[in-house]
Amino acid sequence: MDLLVKELGLSDYVTTWHAMKSFIASANQDTKDELWITEHNPVYTLGYKKNKKNVINHNIDIVETDRGGDITFHGPEQIIFYPLLNLKRANIKLLDLVVGLENLVIQILSNYDIKGKKLNKNPGVFVNNYKIASVGIRVKQPWCYHGLSFNINVDTSYFDSINACGLDIRPINLSSLSIYDKDNLKKDLILKFKEIFGYTV
């Protein structure tokens, strides 16, 4: 299967979210699956399992969105993967998509001799009980959108104003654990994504 990869650079969250919804609304059986890679200007986003008690205080925008999960923060130096996939055509179940995205991060972390792990039934990836990646998906059959955020060198002070994903767990960056090259990291993530989900490398 072919996958079209698009790098969006630094983008506005709401603009990108609306673009994803437009893509899904106009997609048909001939539409290629796409993977959008971006970073966002600082923003808090609330999923449909939101609990506003998890917002302690804030001085930036909060966007109520249609992804799964609770509240999280997005900002520069956090790599975002948005897979826009026809799940039926790709033969990917929702649970397999979530687990695959988590395994993507876990396997990339292992390249840096870092042990990433799941934590009970909480979506995302954790290192020493600190959260390094979050997953939130929306499905409008047969398509999915939203996706994965991976903390690279994001300003973690923004997380002080929320209980991210409803958990009393602090974030961690790859930059605090290892030396990395961002461009090579992105290439490795894209390659591993294709391998995990069966796309042409």
**Residue pLDDT, tens place only, 124-146:** 999 998 999 999 999 999 999 99
162: its two tokens? 């929320």
Long-range contacts of residues 176-184, Cβ cutoff 8 Å, at least 24 apart: 177/112, 177/114, 177/127, 178/112, 178/113, 178/114, 180/112, 180/152, 182/152
pLDDT greater at residue 61 or residue 55: 61
Looking at residue 167, its pLDDT comes to: 57
- For position 64, what pLDDT does the model report? 85
Nearest residue to 97 via CA among 109, 86, 110, 107:
86
**Helices assigned H by DSSP within the chain:** 13-26, 87-90, 94-110, 182-197
3-state helix, strand, coil in the chain (%, to 5): 35, 35, 35
Pick the CATH number of 3-197 from 1.10.8.10, 3.40.50.300, 3.30.930.10, 2.120.10.30: 3.30.930.10
* CA-only gyration radius of the chain, Å: 16
Q: Residue 19: what pLDDT?
A: 98
Top-confidence residue, 148 or 48: 148
Which residues lie closer than 8 Å to 182 by C-beta, 6 or more apart? 152
- Phi, psi for residue 34 in degrees, rounded to 5: -130, 155
Q: Which residues are catalytic?
A: 165
pLDDT at 60 over 80: no
pLDDT at residue 96, as a whole number: 96
Find tokens 């808090």 and name the residue: 44
Average pLDDT, the chain: 90
| pLDDT tens for each residue of 161-199 | 665 545 567 899 999 999 999 999 999 999 999 999 999
Give the pLDDT of residue 48: 66
What's the rounded mean pLDDT across residues 141-160?
A: 93
Q: Which residue has the tokens 């979530």?
A: 98
